[in-house]
Structure formats: structure tokens, C-alpha cells
Structure 1
Amino acid sequence: MIMHKLICFLRHYIDSNRYCSIMSVSLPSSMRKLVVQALTSNFRKAIEIQTVSLPVPTSGHVLVKNRYVGINASDVNFTAGKYAPGVSPPFDAGFEAVGEVVAVSDDLPASLVGKSVAHMSNGAFSEFQSVAGKKLFEIPNAEPEYLTCMVSGMTAKLALQECGHLKKTDKVVLVTAASGGTGQFAVQLAKLAGCHVIGTCSSSSKVDFLKSIGCDHAINVSTENLNQVLKESYPEGVDVVYESVGGDTYETCVNRLAVKGRLIVIGYISGYQKPMGVASGSASALPVKMLMKSSSVSGFFLFHYADQWRATFHELCGLYKDKKLSCTVADGSSERIGGFKGIDSIPDAVDFLYSRKSIGKIFVELNPQNTGNKL
């Protein structure tokens, strides 16, 4: 037993010195991360910030210094345990990050060190993170805009592609919560497909934003009745709906589908923070409504399409590089001087998302820019 512990200690010591020796700057011995300690959709009550030892990358893994992390509405579903029935705390939270590789395991090339990368790995709300090398998306530089091409952008691209089946005969696409992290992509991708796009939002500033990214008809649901506007302006109905709100909005979308229309449910944010999640509504009438219009409702969950992530990410990045796609981000500077910085500000960023004030993808800067390592 003593010999085993000594070997483990020596291995850790050697590995630690190995990856420190190939860095241009020394690495800290500890880091902070966000850990879920209670199952609840109340994000602040669910989490705890802990200081732990810096992880050593095991076989096939790299150590990433997470510079920026993305905030998603579904973060509260994750802390509530809704994505993994039977899960018990503690467990790490956070879905996505952008940063730099600062260390590699012995079986990976040392040339990876210093590369800017994006990754989708549970536990991203951490200053440093051990990530499987096969999960890395190499990017030109660590900019927050690349966060948008992961959970938010991929959801829009794959949902419209795999469930929306956009085709030339589709004339009208409706995107709910269109000014948010994923909605902005659905609007632009539908426009690139040649569709007339309607987007719902909740303020005049969001109306202006939607118009700036090509939305043909922005509806401010704070001052306009969605059902009435759709009924009067689009009497033949809507061909494809990209729906993320739930509740009454979902019911309206079902009722306003065109013949052979498709409704894609990618979320139900109106119920995420409620104990019961989502009300049943008039679900019993849904089969009749679908039958009478030969329409359909499909659910979309991004993690069921992991085999398409890499190609989709690079396709979105290509559109961004070619300036065919705008990737709008929100750093929280409208809420506080300097924006959301440091792991302590993650709960504030989640609150900001649910305040309905934000436009685009919300992010938090965990680690400052390393100006000596431009790639």
C-alpha cells in the first residue's frame, strides 16, 4: 500500500512538472470551479464555488484554461437534475467553453499546447478543465463569438435541418425568443435558406436587433398579441416554427401551423424555473390538430446528435468567417461596469438571462486575455 501511494505520488509529481515545463508561464496549483450541491432549478441555491487542486490530464486528455464560458437557459435544468434522472450531487456544471490548451497527457502531441480551442464538456464552469482531446474544436483565437457556434448555434442548425426539413416550398418560418442565443441563429439560417422569417421578442430594442440580422417581421409580444398578428398577417399559417418558450406561446404556434407545417420544440424556457416544469395544457387536443393539417410536432435535444457536432460547428464558424452569419454576444456590461468577469459572476449571468433583458449569447470571462500567446 505504501509503495502504491509512493508510485502515485511520483507519477503526479512527474506529470505536473512535465506539463508545467512546456508552458511559457507557470500554472497555479489550485483553481476554482462551480459544483452543484443541491438539486433545484434555483441556480444560486444549487451551486457552490469550490477551490480544488489543478487536475492532471490523463491519457487522451488535455488541460484547458477556460477563458470564456457560455450561459444557457438549460443550466437550471441541469442543476435540477432533469437531464440525468437519478443523478445525485455533487457534480460539476457548465456546458461549453473557449480557451487555450495549457497541458497535454503523454500520449498526445505537445504541439497542442498553446492552441486556442472550443469544447462542449460537462463541468465547463471551471477555471481549468481536463478535456478529452477528441472533443476539442480548434479555433483561430479564443473569442467569445465562438461560444455561440456550440450549444446555441448547433441547436438551431441541426434542429432546422433534422426536424424542420427546410425546403424551397417553405415560405414562412417563425422563431420564438428570436433575439436570444439560439434564436438569433434560427433567424439567420432560415433567411439563408430563402424563407420569410418572423421573430418574437419582448422589447423595442430587440425588435431593432432582429431587423438588423434580417428578420422580416419582428413581433414584440409585450405590446402585440401573437395569435392575432399571425392570424391576420399569415392567414395560411406558418410552415416551420422554431419554438423555445412553451406555455401559451407553444399553444399559439400549434394553432397557427400551416398545412404540412412542422413545429420544432427545442425548449420551454417559461417552465424551466418552475417546480413542476411545464403545464400539460391542452395536450389531449394535439392529435386532432395534427391530423387536420397533416402537421407535426418534433422535439429536438442537441445531445442526441453528437455525431454531427464537429461538422456543424465548423460549418457555422465558416459562415461567421465569411460574414454570412452574425454571432452576437452579451458580456453583461449593460448590467455592471466591466461585464461578467470571474467565476463568482456566473449566477448573476444566469439571472441576467432570465431577466429577459439580454440580446444574443450571454458569456462570462473566467480568465483574462493572455496577450503573449496570440495564435
Structure 2
Amino acid sequence: MRRESYRKLIVKRLSQDFKSAAEIVEVPIPQVGVGQLLIENKFAGINGGFDTLVCRGDIPYFEIIPPFDLGVEAVGKVVAVGEDVTGFHIGDAVVTTVRGSGYREYQVIDANLAVKVREATPEVLTLMPTGVSALVALEQVGEMKSNEVVLVTAAAGGTGHIAVQLAKLAGNHVIGTCSSEAKSKLLKELGCDRIINYHTENLDQVLKQEYPKGINLIFECVGQQVFDTCIDNLAIRGRLVSIGHISEYGKDVEPVTQARIYHQLMWKAASVRGFLTPYYQEYIPEASDRLLNLFYNGKLQVSVDPTQFNGIESIPTAVEYLLSGHNCGKVVVRF
């Protein structure tokens, strides 16, 4: 017997933390319209940083007025197909990456926004949009080449471990930072050339001693002191791509009282560049196809954190877990 209602997570009111902002509601399963698909979500990807910022109303590129739906990437099965839809059938596995479509048990979406995949597994959530972001940021913003030194911070995370592999596939020497032996083991398995556990080694000292000419490309998503250290160790014509600053998510912005960074950039002709996926939409389809091909052909490993989060009610705990920095790979919730 088909269900008539489903649960989803919404923001009822803006708040400084995800848990107090989010609320589970039960609503009727919508009818599929012309050109649409009804999808039963099986897994959703957790994006602790974005989730926290959106609950605080701190996303500047779109207006945030509660109530609104939460979650972005999900993978599931098509359970109904609307009129005028071609290329999709009931039972197909699909990935969606639309804001508000992730933290819910069912969703209706325009068919042209769904991507068909072989199976509805959590691994594909590491590729889209997480891995896609890594690929586009490295190539389009970081202008990644071969035979360079590339540094990836938070390298064992959902985005970082994909960035490490992409940089290696491009023929670079890759340094990865992490915070535990378990994460070091993962990075070693992925072929990382130099692993820096910042709980046992000093990042700045290692970079200055072992890489005196500096780092050509830095994929940076931690922020605060790690960001400052990375700026200080850029090579001549080095590029730092900032894709986030997870050390400050959910916290007050740290005031900085030191010399402005143009003193470090200009004399090296170095640069700092920000990356945000919505501003690079034209590169997403090709990047998605390429990543899926790499994965299906065994050239790209995907790490999904083994910690189990089951059901809508587990999502706030999963967000807190991700922000704690204990994860190895992508954090997902199962429905």
C-alpha cells in the first residue's frame, strides 16, 4: 500500500545552531506534474557547514525567509513519472542536488534536474555535488596543472579526499592535512605523497622545511590559522582556492589584527580565489559525467564515513558529528 504522507526537515525559525532551527514536519506526498519525477530518497548527504550557515541566515547569495526546506544532495528511486518525461522510468536510480530536496523522504522535481546513476548508493553522493565542487574548483579556479605541489586541507573529508585523488590523477605531488591516525591511513591508501597530522606535526614548520619553494596550489576549506599558514607558504605565482572555512561555521567571526595579506601576495605574484558552486554552473554537467566515469572505471575511490545515521530525526546529530571533524569521508543519512 502506497504511503500518503512523508516527513521532511524544515527551518521554522533562524537560529545560531542547526538543532534549534530545524523541525520535522509531516506533509502529503505530492502529485507528480508534467515534466516531473516523484522520487523516494534513499540517502542524503550531510553538509554541516552550509546547513549551519543557512539556519543562521548567513547565505548572502539568496534570500532566506523561514519556513524553508533543508538538505541538498540525495539519491533515490523514481516512483512516479509525469507526462512528457523521456529517459526516466519507475525504478531508475537518480541523484538530485537541488537546495531543499535532500532532508526529506520523498521529493518531486523537474526531470531535467535529476541525474540517472547505476545504483542508489551513498557513494554517488560523494561525487555529486561534493566531488564535482572539488573538480571544478581545482581546474577552473585553481588552474590545476601537472608536476606541481598541491596542498589539500581537511584532506580526509568528503570534499578533500576527492580533491587529493584528482590532484594525483593530474600528475601532481599532493600534501594532505588531517587530524587523526585513521584519517592518515585513508590518505595513504589514496596515494597522498605527504600526510601532515596537525595534532602531531606543525603545519607551518613542515611546509617551510620540506617545501622551501612554497606550494603551487592550495585547496583550502578550514580557515583561521590554517588559512593564514597556507597564505604564508604560497609559492611564486601560487594559487589558493578558498572553498570554505569550517573552523568558523557556527561561531562568531574571529577578528584578525595582523598585516594585510597583500604584503604576502604581491611580492610572489600569488593569488587567493574564492569558489562557490552556483557561480560555476556551466561546468557542472561535464564534471559530473567525468567523475562518474572515473568512479565506475575504478580510477576514483569514494570514502563514506562508516558512522550510521538513520532517518530524518538523526540529521541534527549527523550535522554536529560532521562539524566536530571526526568524520573520514562523506557523512550520509539513510532513510
TM norm structure 2: 0.95
C-alpha offsets along residues 280-324 of structure 1, whole Å, 9 cap, x if unaligned? 525752122111000000000011122222221111011011111
2:330 is aligned to 361
Are 1:269 and 2:246 an aligned pair? yes
Offset, 1:231: 0.6
Q: Which residue of 2 aligns with 1:9?
A: none
Once residues 192 and 289 of structure 1 are traced to their aligned partners in structure 2, the CA distance between those partners, rounded to angstroms, is 30
AA in 2 matched with 1:77: L
Q: How many Å separate the matches in 2 of 1:291 and 1:198?
A: 24
In 2, the alpha carbon distance for the partners of 1:103 and 1:57 equals 7
Which amino acid letter does the alignment assign opposite residue 194 of structure 2?
H
In structure 2, the residue matched to 1:44 is: 19
Structure 1 alignment gaps of length 5 or more:
1-25, 333-338, 367-375
Establish whether residue 351 from structure 1 lines up as the match of residue 326 from structure 2: no
Tell me by how many angstroms 1:259 deviates: 0.3
Q: Which residue of 2 aligns with 1:228?
A: 205
Moved more, 301-310 or 355-364: 301-310
After superposing on structure 2, the runs of 4+ consecutive aligned residues of structure 1 that deviate more than 4 Å are none
Matches for 1:1-375 after TM superposition, within 5 Å: 26-73=1-48, 74-84=50-60, 86-109=63-86, 111-123=88-100, 124-168=102-146, 170-274=147-251, 276=252, 278-281=253-256, 285-332=260-307, 339-366=308-335
What is the identity, as a one-letter code, of the residue corresponding to 2:55?
T
Could you give the per-residue CA deviations for residues 128-183 of structure 1, whole angstroms, max 9, x where no partner exists?
Answer: 00111111110011111000111210111000001111123x42100000000000
In 2: Cα distance, 1:101 partner to 1:184 partner: 30
Deviates more, 1:289-298 or 1:278-287: 278-287
- Does the residue aligned with 2:295 lie in a helix, a strand or coil? helix
Return closer, same or farther for 1:362/1:136 CA change in 2, 3 Å cut-off.
Answer: same
Asked if 2 retains the 8 angstrom alpha-carbon contact of 1:41 and 1:272, the reply is no
Residues of 1 paired with 2:64 and 2:245: CA distance?
Answer: 22
SS in 2 for 1:285: coil
CA distance in 2, matches of 1:287, 1:194: 30
The alignment partner of 1:200 has SS state of strand
SS in 1 for 2:331: strand
Name the SS of the counterpart of 1:174 in structure 2.
strand
Partners of 1:350 and 1:69 lie apart in 2 by 12
1:199-258 per-position Cα deviation (integer Å, ceiling 9, x unaligned): 000011111111110101110111211111111111110000000000000000000000
Secondary structure, aligned partner of 2:2:
coil
> In 2, distance between residues paired with 1:81 and 1:246?
20
Q: Summarize the Cα distance change of 1:262–1:280 in structure 2 as closer, same or farther, 3 Å threshold.
A: farther
Over the matched positions of the two proteins, sequence identity in percent amounts to 42
**Conserved? CA contact 1:331–1:363, under 8 Å:** no
- Hey, what's the Cα distance between the residues in 1 that align with 2:242 and 2:88? 42
Instruction: Tell me the distance in 2 between the aligned counterparts of 1:328 and 1:177.
Output: 14
Alpha-carbon distance in 2 for matches of 1:283, 1:81: 29
- The 1:111–1:200 alpha-carbon spacing in structure 2 relative to 1, beyond 3 Å, is closer
Compared CA separation, residues 79 and 248, structure 1 to 2 (3 A): same
Asked whether the equivalents of residues 81 and 88 of structure 2 are also in contact (C-alpha less than 8 Å), the reply is: no
Say how many residue pairs are matched: 332
Q: Distance in 2 between matches of 1:164 and 1:282?
A: 28
Distance 1:107 1:198 in 2: 49
Long gaps (5+) in structure 2: none
User: Residues 315-354 of structure 1, C-alpha deviation per residue, up to 9 Å, x if partnerless?
Assistant: 101101111100110141xxxxxx2111111111111112
Partner amino acid, structure 1, of 2:143? H
| 8 Å CA contact 2:239, 2:273 repeated in 1 | yes
SS in 2 for 1:208: helix
Distance 2:113 2:259 in 1: 42
Whether the 8 Å CA contact 1:230–1:256 is kept in 2: the answer is yes
Amino acid at match of 1:310: P
Preserved CA contact (<8 Å) 1:328 1:360: yes
The answer as to whether partners of 2:36 and 2:83 remain within 8 angstroms in 1 is: no
